[in-house]
Amino acid sequence: MLRGIRFPDDKDFSGCSIFGMMNVRGEKFNGEDMITAIANMKDRSNGLGGGFAAYGIYPQYADLYCFQMMYDDEGARKESEEFLEASFEIETAEIIPTRACEGVRESPLLWRYFMQPRQKVTCELEDVESFIVSVVMDINRKIDGAFVFSSGKDMGVFKGVGFPEDIGRFFRLEEYEGYSWVAHGRFPTNTQAWWGGAHPFNILDWSVVHNGEISSYGINKRYLEMYGYVCTLFTDTEVVAYAVDLLVRRHGLSVEDMAKVLAAPLWDEIDRMPAEGKQLHTALRQTYGSILMNGPFSIIISNRNQMIGLTDRIRLRPLVAGRSGDIRYISSEEAPMHLIDDNVEDTWIPRGGEPIIAELENIARPAAVEENLLSLSGADS
Amino acid sequence: MKSYILPEFLIDRDDYRCIRCEVCVRQCAFDAHWYDEEDDEVRVDEDKCAGCLRCVTFCPTNALIVRRNPNQIPENANWTNEVLHNIYKQAETGGVLLTGMGCDKDYPIYWDRIVLDASQVTNPSIDPLREPMELRTYLGAKPDALEIGRKKGKSSVLTKISPQLRLETPIMFSALSYGAISYNVCESLARAASEFGTYYNTGEGGLHRDLYQYGDHTICQVASGRFGVHADYLEAAAALEIKIGQGAKPGIGGHLPGEKVSAEISHTRMIPEGTDALSPAPHHDIYSIEDLAQLIYALKEATHWEKPVSVKIAAVHNSAAIASGMVRAGADIIALDGIRGGTGAAPTMIRDNVGIPIELALASVDTRLREEGIRNRASIVVAGGIRSAADVVKAVALGADAVYIGTAALVALGCHVCQKCYTGKCNWGIATQDPYLTKRLNPEIGTRRLVNLLTGWSHEIMEILGGMGINAIESLRGNRLRLRGVGLSEEELRILGIRHAGA
Amino acid sequence: MIRIVPKEEFCIGCRLCEIHCIVEHSKSKNIVKAYKKENRPIKRVEVEEEGHVSFALQCRHCEEAPCITACLSGAMQRDAESGAVINDPERCVGCWTCILVCPYGAVRRDEAERKVVGKCDLCPDLETPACVANCPNEALVIVED
Amino acid sequence: MAIYDYAIVGNSAAAINACDAIRARDAVGSIAIFSEEKYRCYSRPLISYLVAGEITTQGMYYRPSNYYRSAKVDFHKESRVVSINPAKKMLTTAGKEKVKWRKLLLATGFLPFVPPVNGVEETDYLTFVSWDDARRMLALTNKPAAALVVGAGLIGVKAAEALHARGAEVTVVEKMDRVLPLALDARASALVEERCSAKGIGIITGESVSGVESRGGHKGRAFLSDGSEIDFDILVMAVGVRPRTELAEAAGIDCRRGIEVDEYQSTSEMDIYAAGDAAIALDVVLGKPALNALWPVAALQGKYAGLNMAGDEVSYPGCNSMNSVEFFGLPVLSAGIVNPEGSDYEVITREDGDGEYRKVVVKGDTLVGMLMAGKIERAGILTSLIQERANVKRIKSCLLDEGFGLINFPHAIRQDRIVEALAGLKKADAVRGRRG
């Protein structure tokens, strides 16, 4: 299923449902509510893809990178494992537990590896994470029939072809406990569905679920390629994940500034800003104009600390935010929040291009983020 | 010597319509029309007709038709009329064939073999009349990454961004030198660029003192002749451009005949009145890439590192490698001029046979710079045959940051592309210094026409962008996925980096 | 009132102003007919030309118009509404005194019908006088005062 | 006793233009116009057109029929002023009406001058200066008649032309050696004579009428100085005109050949102004006051008199001897000095055949005279140069060129005239006035 179906330079057109849920105190909950919520938006997906990302699910391996892999066959697995062993100490290699589930067919071999790069390899590198990225790129590009679909720490992505609720049950998500979850139901107009193409997209601990179409994909991809990102999944969502990785991890931008790159303010607005903001946003657009995500989208970007909701600049796709005690919701529709939670206090629709950010409370964070957290806790955003 | 050259055009006059007002007589600087008082008839001297259609356009009764002389030699794919005409001319004069404007040979025009994409169903197209649509473009080197500091919850930029040119539409006016064109054309270009928020380029003719007021929208060229280059000139400019080559005449210099070097031009170019202005083929201080780097840095130093420096080359076979070198030599802007780029005067053989189409040069340069990871270090501006908003969109999607328009701007001002620029008798008052002719271009009107053109094209670009579901030009720039080729070979598609329509 | 100001730096000497003036003041207002079939009216605007310099000049509609003061018959009057100096052909006797005193040479004999003078009337039937409207280079512009 | 803010004696060009000027500045002041004729203001020069049938009586009027009413003027027609008292500011009419004024304008015009020729008083001769003259001429030419016109000045020649148009057989006798000796030069006179002769008008120059023998009524016989005799049915005496100064003189106002005025058209008596053919005012070409009994001159003087009477202080710019006449389709325009005497003048002429003759007279670098016959377009440009005493050094050679015009002026002056000075003629007048 992974071989021979990739269209170079192509991307995937899809309409979708997205749902994110995070406990900002870090209290964990299982995948049950996520499955219920995403299933509630069934008409936004067509059975050609569903997936979840969950944070905090592998506490026993919290310091190890978890590669979750799809293989077409044993040959691909062997090749990949040899490749990995060359540079990693593999602590655990295991088949990802699944259950037979009607509506989920022809699954690839699903394996996960908890591991860390060998000292020898990382010594040569200043930046371990860049090494991980390059390994992911190498496997995805070079090993036919193998695909890394998640590569972070203490987190995992579970996705495949089918309705999201079926995928959830297939992966037995009720057995996982995480404090932050995202889910995706997919409606590709491209009938060629494949497991790797389902959302979320992940690199390191960045996960992206996406509803929309990135009309600027062609240039976003070419720009990221200049920075060593090889877009192998042939979907526009992939570029979001890489762009986020580039901006936040590698270039050190704050999440908010990153959001202002992906959904840049209009020049008109920038022109009206006070000098400092004007300079900042002008520089952001000048430098990163090529990864402005143009076209209709709403996305949820997650990492271990944050869950970020964002729509395109002119809000062509839906996104609703909600709050219930320590729980933060970001969703395509409001109904699922109420379905799983009687205590949703307030919900609101963020403005186009305005990021909403949910963040773990007990972590040190840049002050810049504070304001957005405040705005998320209020209903006035 | 009896000339064997047949008149290129015949002029038909409808006697019923002709009112003998003599407008045609007065409008033709080539003296193709004359009034015969004795017979009260307007007569023609067709040998002199340039086919510029000035008379046709101005005839108040539409009494005139200028048509190609049907007297042609027997059809021959090899020995065409044009070839014969050229040989007769050279047999009669012993000279080098001269021409004006851009190459008119029918090399493939790739713009016309590339089609654009639009949104249907899966994503919405955007209505530019209701939604914002951004064409603003910044030209100049961009950093690889932006370093951002945070204080009291506020982000601020720590990276020093190189000087940038801000364009409100990705279209600039190409290098057209004062001397090749009249002062009024320069003024029209300067005012239109200022009004619209874009730039015009002085070419190698220097900057007339009356145009310093538009310096903020002026790209001042430093060419091999160094005409008119002095401290104030560099200071007045918004950006500087080192001209290495020109699409119409790659590898050769320029020549402004002495009769065009009027007092004003002499003053502006800093050469004696009435002397020929000869631009050498190479810069005699640039014999290598490191020499170019030295000049780039000299110009930056001279202007306090406040102005981007562009380097313009003719599109030739190894443009991609050259461009890479130029970027590494410190050029902030790479200007590429394709084989169809215009000129005031060039040897016909050079114009028509040297260089490559801009589309291919652009694609290969953009690809190369990306492969080398240095695409952001310089902007790419392309010139040479941009004829419409669609060409602009295709150029941007292939990877250009902006385009230069020369011929299109002149056409907006009235040019009918008769290719007789080199005669100095431009009936449209454009490529001439004859005061009787130059006043035919009123800069008020010229400015308006150019601004209208930019407005129209910009609206069209917005429409096309909106149709693609894109509302900022940077999301189109280099977005080759939105292009498809029609009727192109595998190799052409590969170079252009696009897929065939239907695929 | 409106006044027509010539811009000599942009007058290209095409004389289309003269031609369209004649047409506008012709009976048919059709250019070919006016020139070929009718008693062609006089031009009320004249292009002066010397070397490469030229400009089109018509009645200035002077504030202190000498032609009005000099007119023997009272035919030359200022139109109260438009402020234009207008010659009433019904009252004009063709004594040419106005031609004698006009410092711009802007009054001409018009003997197509009967002996009267003709001069610029600012084309009362048109929104923009014909010479201005048809100047291809905006070398005639309207100023309002 | 009625008191008028403005009283005007006379009802022709000067009077009406004064009245217009006053009204333009003073909308309410009372105005009275006294005219000895019965007509509303008409244009005296048009009588020849009336006789020749070129216009109707309706065309004679200088202003519309509601003129006096709309200008709020008390029009005293057939009311000849017989005396004025400057001390009492009072005038008396022939009808014994007494009227007081605050400002008075004497626009008394001229009377034909008839020389003391033997027997002329016994003959019912005509003059040709008024509407009544025209009516008489029309009546007398209802049947074929032989007409003798004495004097070939402007009035004489126009009378001859009018009589010819009425079918009369016309002979003109002129004492000088050519027709229109003052207005034209010899060449132009010859052109006019050619036209006249071609039409069958007899022209006898260099002879005077030494006596007239009446044969009852209008008929008679004239004896010329060369001894020849001419029988006539109509005799027109057109030897000349004299300004009517008797009213002014009787009131003690300074008069020489006409009523003397200063640059404000003011006479030697306070609040009494004079304008028109009776006044002797600045001739810019001659550089001194002169009599220019011409309609445009009278109108301009009247205008300036009116402006000053209404309280403005504007100098009369001065005028020059300007003539525009047409004889049998030959228009002839002249201004300033056309018959220069002495060697300080430079004369340039140009002849293009078929009666097209042009001439300019330059003194030093100043254009002082011009004449155009046949081809008269744009003559006013030259007139204005004469009027302005402009320096024509640089354009002297092209004054008579085909297409001469403002294009030949220096750029700055041209620009000033065309663009800046749209409303500037008045300004220019004022400048000239100060200089004068």
Indicate the domain borders of chain D. Answer: 2-109+244-309, 112-240, 329-435
Question: Which residue of A227, A290, A313 is in closest CB contact with B471?
Answer: A313
- Cβ-contact B312, B242 below 8 angstroms: yes
Closest CA to A295 of A250, A239, A247: A239
Q: Indicate whether A70 pLDDT > 90.
A: yes
B480 touching A (Cβ < 8 Å): yes
Q: Is B4 within 8 Å of chain C by CB?
A: no
Q: Is residue A144 part of a domain?
A: yes
Name the DSSP class of D185: -
- Min Cα distance C87 → chain B (Å) is 27
CATH 3.30.70.260 fits D112-240, yes or no: no
Evaluate whether residue A3 is within a structural domain.
no
Partners of B23 on chain C (C-beta within 8 Å) are: 14-16, 19
The DSSP secondary structure of B348-360, one letter per residue, reads: HHHHHHSS--HHH
pLDDT at A370: 44
**Which one of A287, A313, A315, A370 would you mutate to disrupt binding with B, by most B Cβ within 10 Å of its Cβ?**
A287
Strand partners, C75: none
Based on C-alpha coordinates, what's the Rg of chain C? Answer: 15
CB contact under 8 A, C137 and B434: no
Report CB contact under 8 Å: A213, B478.
no
Given a cut of 80, whether residue C145 has pLDDT beyond it is no
| C125 shares contact with chain B (CB less than 8 Å) | no
Mean residue pLDDT across chain B: 95
Enclosing domain of residue A355: 14-377
Alpha carbon of residue B348 to chain centroid: 18
C105 chain-D contacts, CB cut-off 8 A: 377-381, 405-406
Q: Report the first-to-last Cα separation within chain A, whole angstroms.
A: 43
* Dist CA B145 CA B282 (whole Å): 36
Asked if C35 lies within 8 A of B436 by C-beta distance, the reply is: no
The answer, yes or no, to whether C and A have at least 3 beta-carbon pairs within 8 Å is no
Which segments of chain D have a pLDDT < 70? 420-436
Return all residues near C75 (Cβ < 8 A) that are at least 6 apart.
C87, C88, C89, C90, C91, C92, C93, C116
Q: Is residue A366 in some structural domain?
A: yes
**Radius of gyration of chain A from its Cα atoms, rounded to whole angstroms:** 19
Domain range D2-109+244-309, CATH architecture? 3-Layer(bba) Sandwich (3.50)
Please tell me the total count of domains within chain A: 1
* C52/B contact by beta carbon, under 8 A: yes
- Contact at CB, B138 and A286, closer than 8 angstroms: yes
pLDDT at A374 over 70: no
Query: DSSP code of D213?
Result: E
Chain A residue with CA closest to B138: the answer is A286
For residue A372, pLDDT beyond 90: no
C35 touches chain B (CB under 8 A): yes
Give residue D252's pLDDT: 94
Report how far apart the first and last C-alpha atoms of chain B are (Å, whole number).
61
Residues of A in Cβ contact (< 8 Å) with B147: 251-252
Instruction: Please tell me the predicted confidence (pLDDT) of residue A3.
Output: 55
Q: Given C6, C66, C93, which is nearest D59 (Cβ)? A: C93
Residue B344: name the closest of B158, B147, B474, B186 by CA: B186
User: What is the DSSP secondary structure assignment for residue A108, as one 8-state letter?
Assistant: -
Is pLDDT above 50 for B391?
Answer: yes
Residue B178 CA to residue B176 CA, distance in Å, equals 7
Q: What is the mean pLDDT of residues B474-486?
A: 96
C51 part of contact set with chain D, CB < 8 Å: no
Fold match, D2-109+244-309 / D329-435: no
Chain A contact present for B160, CB below 8 A: no
Contact pairs from chain B to chain C, CB under 8 Å: 55
Determine the pLDDT at residue B221: 97
Pick from D43, D331, D418: which is nearest to C73 by CB?
A: D43
Determine the Cα–Cα distance for residues A227 and A243; give it in Å rounded to an integer: 10
Q: Which CATH architecture group holds B9-95?
A: 2-Layer Sandwich (3.30)
Give C-chain residues touching B27 at CB under 8 angstroms. Answer: 12, 14
What's the sign of the alpha-carbon dihedral D136, D140, D141, D146?
A: negative
Q: Is the pLDDT of residue A189 over 80?
A: no
Which residues of B belong to the annotated binding site?
Answer: 18, 21, 24, 28, 49, 52, 55, 59
Closest CB to A266 among B126, B132, B138: B132
Q: Are A155 and A64 in contact (CB under 8 A)?
A: no
Instruction: Give pLDDT, residue A380.
Output: 36
Is D131 at the interface with chain C, CB within 8 A? Answer: no
Per-residue pLDDT reduced to its tens digit, B163-187: 999 999 999 999 999 999 999 999 9
CB-side neighbour CA atoms (13 Å) of B209: 6
CB of B121 within 8 Å of a chain A CB? The answer is yes
**Separation between Cα atoms, residue A80 and residue B340, nearest integer Å:** 52
Between the alpha carbon of residue B235 and those of residues A288, B306, B307, B333, B345, the distances in Å are: 30, 10, 9, 18, 29
Q: List, for residues A210-266, the tens digit of each pLDDT value.
A: 888 888 999 999 999 999 888 766 677 888 888 998 999 899 999 889 999 999 999
Question: Is B113 an 8 Å CB contact of chain A?
Answer: no
Q: Which residues in chain D have Cβ-Cβ distances shorter than 8 Å to C60?
A: 418, 422
Chain A residues in contact with B136 by the CB 8 A cut-off are 267
Q: Is B339 on the interface with C (CB under 8 A)?
A: no
Contact of A157 with A104, CB cutoff 8 Å? no
Which one-letter amino acid corresponds to residue D311?
A: G
Query: Which residues of chain B neighbour A46 with C-beta distances below 8 Å?
Result: none
Kindly report, residue by residue over B250-276, the tens digit of the pLDDT: 999 888 888 889 999 999 999 999 999
User: What are the beta bridge partners of residue B43?
Assistant: B34
What is d(CA B392, CA B380) in angstroms, rounded to the nearest whole number?
Answer: 13
In this prediction, residue B69 has a pLDDT band, given cuts at 50, 70 and 90, of very high
From the DSSP assignment, how many helices (H) and strands (E) are in chain D?
11, 24
**Cα–Cα dist B497/B495, whole Å:** 5
Closest of D406, D323, D392 to residue D361, by C-alpha? D392
CATH 3.30.390.30 fits D329-435, yes or no: yes
Q: Is the dihedral of CA A335, A341, A342, A348 positive or negative?
A: negative
Averaged confidence pLDDT in chain A: 86
Residues 6 or more apart whose CB falls under 8 angstroms from that of A120 comprise none
Nearest to A251 among B138, B146, B480 (CB): B146
CATH code, C2-144: 3.30.70.20
Q: Is the CB of residue C93 less than 8 Å away from at least one CB of chain B?
A: no
Residue B59: list chain C partners with CB under 8 A: none
Read off the pLDDT of residues D381-412 as tens digits, 9 standing for 90 and up: 999 999 999 899 989 989 999 889 999 998 88
How much is the average pLDDT of B25-48? 95
- Residue A142's domain is classified under what CATH number? 3.60.20.10
Q: Which two tokens stand for residue A316?
A: 């062509």
| C15/B27 CB distance under 8 A | no
- Nearest Cα to Cα of residue B27 among B66, B47, B64, B53: B53
Residues near A273 by beta carbon (within 8 Å), at least 6 away in sequence: A265, A281
Neighbours of chain A (3+ CB pairs under 8 A): B
Q: Are strands B137-139 and B165-167 parallel, antiparallel or unpaired?
A: antiparallel
Q: Cβ C64–D322 below 8 Å, yes or no?
A: no
Closest Cβ opposite residue C138 in set B17, B23, B444: B444
Contact between C96 and D324 using a beta-carbon 8 Å cutoff: yes
Domain locations along chain B? 9-95, 161-500
**Measured between CB atoms, does B14 come within 8 Å of chain C?**
no
Residues of A recognised as catalytic = 16
Instruction: Please judge whether B475 and A276 are an interchain contact, meaning their C-beta atoms are less than 8 angstroms apart.
Output: no
CATH architecture for the domain at B161-500? Alpha-Beta Barrel (3.20)
Closest by CA position to D126, among listed D5, D17, D234, D37: D234
- What residues contact B223, with CB distance under 8 A and at least 6 apart? B203, B204, B242, B243, B254, B279, B283
Instruction: State yes or no: ipTM above 0.95.
Output: no
Give the residue numbers of the binding site of B for [4Fe-4S] cluster.
18, 21, 24, 28, 49, 52, 55, 59
Sequence ranges of the domains in chain C? 2-144
Point out the least confidently predicted range of A260-274, B78-92, B372-386, D409-423. D409-423
d(CA D413, CA D394): 13
Residue C101: which of D303, D383, D403 has the nearest Cβ?
Answer: D383
The whole-number average pLDDT for the span B375-388 is 97
The per-residue pLDDT for range A117-157, each reduced to its tens digit, is 987 766 666 688 889 988 998 998 899 999 999 999 999 99
Distance from CA of B153 to the nearest CA of A (A): 4
| Closest-CA residue to A88 (of A125, A124, A120) | A120
